[in-house]
Structure 1
Amino acid sequence: MMKIRLVPILLLNALGLTLFFSWYLPENHGFWFTLDAGIFHFFNAALVKSHVFLVLVAITNNRIFDGVSLLAMGSLLSWFWRQETPAGRRRLVIMGVVMLLSAAVINQLGHLIPVAHTSPTLYFTDIHRVSELLHFPTKDASKDSFPGDHGLMLFIFTGFMLRYFGQRAFFIAVLISVICILPRIMIGAHWFTDVYVGSLSTALVGLPWVLLTPLSDGLIKALNRTLPGKNKTSS
């Protein structure tokens, strides 16, 4: 079982807090707002320059497309699942449950941050909204976009991949995260900083206390011991 790795935990926490306060403290968020606005207007202008791009952005922000993120994460997990023994498969499924529980708790803590932030499509005027350009159900706005829930879940998944499956799984998870997060930013439902400041800083503060302490291992062991079913293990 993992011992408490206090130094890495505190370093990651410090990194997360520095990232957050570099955005939170400056007036109008300093250089982060310039970056946010530039990224939003770049993609927003592209919506009316290319109908193909417009349709792509609309489709990738449909609720059904969220299943692609789940499918990508599930595919990575299933690759490891197929190589496991029956006992190992049970433990992997339980690890997934612990990951979801961790994501739910960390997400709720993230929303305690005293930030009221609407999406750029609601902040700026005289802009293009996909929902007005196409008659297609898609998410192009949010009244509370900070931190990004979708991005936070993907970052937590990435952390679990590194902790339990190593660097190769981690880099694949990073790729999945970047690809799956991008549509929310392209459509304007999230600012760049909703994800790469809000979600990332929340993950850097909360997740180390789960993965770099006995907490995640202990939860997996306890659930493995108490949940009904075959192939229980003691480790």
Structure 2
Amino acid sequence: MKTRITGILLLNIAGLALFFSWFLPANHGFWYSLDSGIFHFFNQGLAESRAYVWFLAVTNNRAFDGCSLLTMGSLMLHFWLKEQPQGRRRIIIIGLVMLLAAVIVNQLAQHLMPVKRASPSLFFPDVYRVSDLLHISTKDASKDSFPGDHGMMLLIFATFMWRYFGLKAFAIALLIVVVFAFPRVMIGAHWFTDIAIGSLTAVLIGMPWILLTPLSDKTIALFDRHLPQAFNKK
């Protein structure tokens, strides 16, 4: 792929505009009202339904994160099964490059974004927490929730699906983002803007330089030259 500098800059500008629309206003402007409203809407339900408490506990358990990996893997497996050995090898390498990109973008975002804030379950007083209502392992709080790293990883997966597998795969990947990222918001482990601002900003700024330039293709080619040829076996 040739470098699409216009597209890269437009996406970067969109990411910066999104971030500063949240970062610059006092108390984050209208974003705070949206964040607060979403959190309290879902939090009040914890007092009304035991089944709802269990639902949030299960969908925010670490094992459920494994389900997100299985779902993403299944989508890639769908394409892998259609390929010949060389194509299967390339899909495996795309997955490795995607993981590398996710680690780099996530680490840069965590260190470069000038924000540190606790999750809404710790910020607001006198709220319900799933861990107080059920004594099982679940993620319902974070001392530093911005940007949402889980949502960021899912969004990065979606961008790779768009780049290498097409719009239909991208649409399915976006559905995966919603299914597996939003429970963190519902339980109060993340603000809505941890994902909608933090994660999305990082992806809009970082991923175009990887996917809209030859960088990802060259990295895939590099891995292809140096990884064991055993990947070519059926």
TM-score by length of 2: 0.97
Deviation (angstroms), 1:231: 6.2
Unaligned runs of 5+ in 2: none
**Cα offset for 1:116?**
1.0
Task: Give the Cα separation in 2 of the matches to 1:146 and 1:226.
Answer: 37
Q: Aligned equivalents of 2:29 and 2:91: distance in 1?
A: 43
Name the residue aligned to 2:9.
10
Deviation at 1:214, TM superposition (A): 0.4
In 2, the alpha carbon distance for the partners of 1:105 and 1:15 equals 21
- 1:52-63 matches, within 5 Å, as 52-63=51-62
CA drift of 1:114 comes to 1.1
1:230 shift after superposition: 3.9
- Amino acid across the alignment from 2:204: L
Query: Does residue 98 of the first structure (1) align with residue 97 of the second (2)?
Result: yes
How many Å apart are 1:228 and its aligned residue?
A: 1.3
Deviation at 1:76, TM superposition (A): 0.3
Report % sequence identity.
60
Report the TM-score, using the length of structure 1 for normalisation. 0.97
Q: What SS does the aligned partner of 2:229 have?
A: coil
Residue of structure 2 in register with 1:178 after alignment:
178
CA distance, structure 1, for counterparts of residue 84 and residue 231 of structure 2: 9
- The 2-side partners of 1:43 and 1:97 are apart by 36
Point out 4+ residue stretches in structure 1 off by more than 4 angstroms: none
Name the counterpart of 1:110: 109
Q: What RMSD over aligned residues (CA atoms) do the two structures have, in Å?
A: 0.8
Alignment deviations for residues 34-68 of structure 1 (CA, whole Å, 9 cap, x no partner): 00000000000011111111100001101111011
Counterparts of 1:65 and 1:167 in 2: how far apart (Å)? 26
Structure 2 distance, partners of 1:127, 1:119, is 12
Post-superposition Cα deviations, 1:167-222, rounded to whole Å, max 9, x if no partner, equal 00000000010110111000000000000100001000000000000000000001
Paired amino acid for 1:46: G
Following superposition, the deviation at residue 227 of structure 1 comes to 1.0
**Structure 1 unaligned spans of 5+:** none
Distance 1:143 1:87, change over 3 A: same
Taking the TM superposition and a 5 Å limit, the aligned residue runs for 1:4-83 are 4-83=3-82
State how far apart, in whole Å, the 2-side matches of 1:40 and 1:231 are. Answer: 46
Q: How big is the shift at 1:132?
A: 0.2
| Count of paired positions | 231
